[in-house]
């Protein structure tokens, strides 16, 4: 495993984002708490929306946040893995999914014992799909940009 400054920075970024994800999964970001902020914002942006449609939009925003959080987590984890212990595409993607899946599972288990949150296996699946989407985005990058941003060998750095 490399201790190069770029590798350490990459792991620092992944670790910092994991803290963000963990914080967003805490009691302070429960549906009741976030709807106090998002509810008025939705009402401001869509004043003619029914209460039911507003609740649906709020639910969709919260679920989209899951996918986005974990897509970013996958990107940061993949970059850190490839900079510190370069592996070919599939093994590094699988290692990324294992690490990100472990975080998602731990977060939902924690929420399952919370008084204000509800842990749900469906959210772990959603988080995993977000991670897959992030990895698919990397694959869709032009080869030159992908090699520079997500190197798979020391010669690509």
User: What average pLDDT score do residues 94-114 get?
Assistant: 91
Least confident of 87-91, 94-98, 149-153: 149-153
* Domain total of the chain: 1
The domain of 10 spans 5-156
Check pLDDT > 50 for residue 43.
yes
pLDDT-derived band at 155, boundaries 50, 70, 90: very low
pLDDT-derived band at 141, boundaries 50, 70, 90: confident
How confident is the prediction for the chain on average, in pLDDT?
A: 85
Burial state string for 129-142 with b = 16 or more CB within 10 A and e = fewer than 16 = ebbbebbeebeeee
Q: What is the pLDDT of residue 38?
A: 85
Please state, in angstroms and rounded to a whole number, the distance separating the CA atoms of residues 57 and 68: 16
Instruction: Supply the DSSP string of 24-51, one letter for each residue.
Output: HTSGGGSHHHHHHHHHHHHHHH-TT--H
Residue 96's nearest CA partner among 139, 132, 143 is 132
What count of other Cβ atoms lies within 10 Å of the Cβ of residue 63? 14
Most confident of 58-62, 92-96, 111-115: 92-96
With vertex at residue 82, the alpha carbon angle to CA 81 and CA 88, rounded to the nearest 5 degrees, is: 115
Q: What is the pLDDT of residue 140?
A: 85
Cα 130 to chain centroid, rounded: 6
């Amino acid at each position: 495993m490399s201790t190069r400054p770029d590798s350490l920075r990459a792991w620092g970024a992944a670790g910092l984002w994991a803290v963000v994800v963990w914080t967003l999964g805490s009691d302070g970001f429960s549906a009741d708490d976030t709807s106090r902020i998002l509810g008025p914002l939705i009402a401001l942006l869509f004043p003619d929306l029914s209460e039911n449609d507003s609740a649906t939009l709020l639910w969709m925003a919260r679920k989209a946040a899951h996918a986005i959080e974990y897509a970013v987590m996958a990107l940061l984890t993949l970059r850190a893995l490839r900079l510190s212990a370069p592996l070919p595409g599939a093994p590094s993607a699988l290692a990324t999914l294992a690490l990100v899946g472990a975080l998602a599972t731990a977060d939902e288990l924690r929420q399952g014992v919370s008084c204000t949150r509800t842990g749900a296996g469906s959210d772990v699946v959603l988080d995993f799909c977000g991670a897959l989407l992030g990895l698919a985005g990397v694959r869709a990058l032009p080869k030159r940009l992908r090699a520079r941003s997500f190197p798979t060998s020391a010669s690509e750095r």
